[in-house]
Amino acid sequence: MTVARSSSPASAPGFIRRFRLVGYSLIGIVAYFLLLAFMLNSTATAAQQVANALTLGAIYALVALGYTMVYGIIELINFAHGDVFMVGSFVALWTLTSDPIFNVVGLGQTGIVTNIALLAGILLLTFTVSMVLMAVLNMGIERFAYRPLRNAPKVAPLITAIGVSLILQNVIQIIVGTGDRPVPQLFPTDGFQFLGANIRYLNLFIFLVALVLLYGLQQFVSRTRLGRAMRATAQDQQAAQLMGVDLNQTIAMTFLIGGALAGAAGVFQGQYLGYVRFDLGFNAGLKAFTAAVLGGIGNLTGAALGGFLIAFLEVFAAANGQQRWSQAIVFVVLIVVLVFRPAGILGQQIGERA
């Protein structure tokens, strides 16, 4: 896997490439805002929609990273990853509430928490439980469903991934049923004023925490010994094994990290949309996989960028009264990008020194 654009000149320092990408992103956000303000004739509405897009994009980006990491390591499209995210959203719900099934660990929350210290403690516990359990779940899936098929034809683990997805979906459906399950909203509804729009503190919280997680993952992959092992395995498994890399440990850690990020996204899902349901993993997984392909499958930065792009397209369609066409627009853009850049916006991974 890569952490920067693979097609950039080798002589360009990494920080220059990242700075350039951040600059282009900021220019794109400003252009997006100006276009929305012109079309909607309201800067306040445009600012609100930009905040919504950034928040939704942060959730998509976290889920997309799990897809792209697994593909970068073992070239598996893990269709079960979206349902790991779904299970994480329910674990967050059960941690927050006094659900009859999990009444031992439920915190009994019913609404807004005004005490900042208490809110921080509740969120920390919820994130810890959801991320740890989803990391363990994802590792278990890799150990018992994917590892025995590592040397099998590619179609075997692909079908297994679909099977695991259906198993997770049906287990949660049996437990909670088919309806929406409301999630207690911990954050106050007020916020701060920006260009006439009321931006909720929840939006800012989700965006900033997601950026911290994304940055932390980039640094982990770039600077740690295990991160180097992951990149070496992504380039050539056999060569990495000859150099002393423990493939089983490296692949298991990849699934662990992806599951933890999906668990964090599950917490965000409940707080931002206010509900969870057993089948939300399918749509979220489809969008996250699309984001990974759009940005460049196997490229961490590309997956995050793809998640934000999809969110901006969806919000743009909804803001102009075309919400029913939002997914169609996303896939039209995906097709156009892949026609001209088959490797995605930032390109797929290629050999790079670990």
Residue 348 is predicted with a pLDDT of: 60
Quick one: average pLDDT of 12-23?
Answer: 70
Residues 318, 98: Cα–Cα separation, whole Å:
35
Q: Which long-range contacts (CB under 8 A, 24 or more apart) does 220-229 make?
A: 220/257, 221/1, 221/3, 221/300, 222/3, 226/250, 226/253, 228/354, 229/354
Facing residues of 275 across strands? 182
Residue 350 is predicted with a pLDDT of: 44
Does residue 124 carry a pLDDT above 90? yes
Q: Is 289 exposed, middle or buried (0-12, 13-18, 19+ CB in 10 A)?
A: buried
| Region for residue 171 given its phi and psi (left: phi exceeds 0; alpha: psi -120 to 50; beta: otherwise) | alpha
Could you give the C-alpha distances from 327 to 254, 282, 286, 330, 333, in angstroms and in order?
29, 13, 10, 5, 10
Name the residue with higher pLDDT: 187 or 100: 187
| Residue 325's pLDDT band (cuts 50, 70, 90) | confident
Does residue 205 carry a pLDDT above 60? yes
| Region for residue 41 given its phi and psi (left: phi exceeds 0; alpha: psi -120 to 50; beta: otherwise) | left
Residue 135 is predicted with a pLDDT of: 95
| Residue 351's pLDDT band (cuts 50, 70, 90) | very low
Does residue 353 carry a pLDDT above 50? no
Quick one: average pLDDT of 130-140?
Answer: 94
Q: What is the pLDDT of residues 266-275, one digit of tens each?
A: 999 999 998 9
In eight-state DSSP terms, residue 42 is -
Residue 105 is predicted with a pLDDT of: 53
Does residue 113 carry a pLDDT above 90? no
| Residue 265's pLDDT band (cuts 50, 70, 90) | very high
Q: Which long-range contacts (CB under 8 A, 24 or more apart) does 339-342 make?
A: none
Residue 262 is predicted with a pLDDT of: 93
| Residue 49's pLDDT band (cuts 50, 70, 90) | very high
Does residue 18 carry a pLDDT above 60? yes
| Residue 126's pLDDT band (cuts 50, 70, 90) | very high
Does residue 354 carry a pLDDT above 60? no
Average per-residue pLDDT in the chain?
85
Say if CB 105 and CB 113 are below 8 A apart. Answer: no
Residues 136, 249: Cα–Cα separation, whole Å:
14
Q: Which of 159, 142, 351, 167 shows the shortest CA–CA distance to 255?
A: 142
Residue 111 is predicted with a pLDDT of: 78
Give domain limits for the chain. Answer: 14-340
Q: Is 28 exposed, middle or buried (0-12, 13-18, 19+ CB in 10 A)?
A: middle
Ranking 91-100, 145-154, 170-179 by mean pLDDT, the lowest is: 91-100
The CATH number of 14-340, from 3.30.1360, 1.10.3470, 3.10.28, 1.10.260, is: 1.10.3470
Residues 331, 316: Cα–Cα separation, whole Å:
14
Residue 204 is predicted with a pLDDT of: 92
Does residue 1 carry a pLDDT above 60? yes
Quick one: average pLDDT of 58-74?
Answer: 89
Residues 92, 124: Cα–Cα separation, whole Å:
11
SS in 3 state form for 335-353?
A: HHHHHHCCCCCCCCCCCCC
Does residue 8 carry a pLDDT above 50? no
Q: What is the pLDDT of residues 229-248, one digit of tens each?
A: 888 888 888 888 888 888 88
Does residue 339 carry a pLDDT above 90? no
Residue 258 is predicted with a pLDDT of: 92
Q: Which of 245, 253, 181 shows the shortest CA–CA distance to 221?
A: 253
The C-alpha R_g of the chain, in whole angstroms, comes to: 20
Residues 231, 239: Cα–Cα separation, whole Å:
12
Residue 5 is predicted with a pLDDT of: 41
Quick one: average pLDDT of 287-295?
Answer: 87
Say if CB 174 and CB 87 are below 8 A apart. Answer: no
Residues 347, 8: Cα–Cα separation, whole Å:
10
Q: Which of 280, 265, 284, 270 shows the shortest CA–CA distance to 327?
A: 284
Residue 352 is predicted with a pLDDT of: 42
